[in-house]
Amino acid sequence: MKILVTRQIPERFIDELKEAAEVVMHDDTLQPMPRDKFIEESRDAGVVITMMSDKVDREYLDACENLKAVINLAVGFDNIDVRYANENNITVCNTPDVLTETTAELAFTLMLVTARRIVEAAELVQKGEWQGWEPYMMAGKDVAGKSVGIFGMGSIGTAFARRCKAFGMDIMYNTRSRHEDAERELGARHVDFSELLQSDYVVCTAPLTEETKEIFNKDAFNRMKGDAIFINIGRGGHVVEEDLLAAVQAGEIAAAGLDVLRQEPIQDDHPFLDEKRIVVLPHIGSATVETRDAMIQLCVDNAKQIMKGEEPKTPVKVK
């Protein structure tokens, strides 16, 4: 059985995989595997290590008769039809836990950066436009002591909330089920979506599902406070981008910090690129060397266990 890896990863991981099977790697650090090549190379693969940019849908799964497992190099798996895979006895794995602190740290960074207008301020200096001190030059908004509404209180949301607690923030969250541990440990309050929208910082850390798709729309932004800041590190699909842009431009909210977009990478003519109050990062939530090493190692461990006919470490379970 062959193992297909759809993006370039360091040689040492490939060597480890080679102990278990023949390995084919798409030798490109920048471009995803073209769809037809992805399907073609998967036909005789037993295990495929995929990226978020690979669409594992019915068409793909129907084409790959030998496939035993799809191992996604991400915690999110909205690129995969997990239910259909499982119906066809194909295991899906993701990379939870190893990226939790790193991703929470990025969310917190994005909150500080937008609150204190860091990108704008650094640009002003770089462009030679720093004329001297003025009382309100680049004046932002405090984070300490403010309220934060966390949408999606999984492990990343909870790790983010811990950082908020250290800043003395009033923590609210909204999820389908209560997280009593977070309530006890962090004093977080479970609130409905409307109340969540009243926070100074509204932060989306949720995985994308049919229920949460486009939940941050015109109506949601309308209900936020005029000086609210919206942060999204979940998935771009949670947000109606036109509505977010309109809300920022109309001053219905103050700013936004986004690590994820509906379409990635961003298109050259995307209107967010001209809006100083919207900071866009290139989906780097888990991008530290330590964490990417750990994510890839977890994929390799899962692949080896599957090749041995054992239960993998981190299978995805659909509810």
What are 293's two structure tokens? 């090493």
Q: What is the dihedral of CA 171, 177, 181, 187, to 10 degrees?
A: 20
Strand partners, 150: 173, 203
- Site for ligand GLV (CB under 6 A): how many residues? 14
Least Cβ distance, residue 241 to ligand GLV (angstroms): 17
Please identify the residue of the shown chain whose CB is closest to the bound ligand GLV.
154
Strand partners, 229: 201, 255
Least Cβ distance, residue 51 to ligand GLV (angstroms): 10
Residue 33 per-residue DSSP state: P
Question: For residues 89-128, which are near ligand GLV according to CB under 6 A?
Answer: 99
Residue 239 per-residue DSSP state: B
H helices present in 176-278, as ranges: 180-186, 193-196, 218-223, 241-249
Report the first-to-last Cα separation within the chain, whole angstroms: 30
Least Cβ distance, residue 96 to ligand GLV (angstroms): 6
Catalytic residue among 19, 22, 65, 264: 264
Applying CB under 6 A, among 46, 76, 257, 312 the residue interacting with ligand GLV is 76
Q: Cα separation of 104 and 102, whole Å? A: 6
Q: Chain-centre distance of CA 244, in angstroms? A: 18
283 is catalytic: yes
Q: Is residue 302 a contact point for ligand GLV (CB under 6 A)?
A: no
Binding span for ligand GLV by CB under 6 A among 74-82, 111-119, 215-223, 305-313? 74-82
Between 92 and 247, whose beta carbon lies closer to ligand GLV?
A: 92
> How many residues are present in the chain?
319
Applying CB under 6 A, among 70, 71, 74, 204 the residue interacting with ligand GLV is 74
26 is catalytic: no
Between 121 and 191, whose beta carbon lies closer to ligand GLV?
A: 191
Residue 135 preceded by cis peptide, ω within 30: no
Applying CB under 6 A, among 98, 115, 156, 316 the residue interacting with ligand GLV is 156
Catalytic positions are 235, 264, 283
Binding residues for ligand GLV (CB under 6 A): 74-76, 99, 152, 154-157, 205-207, 285-286
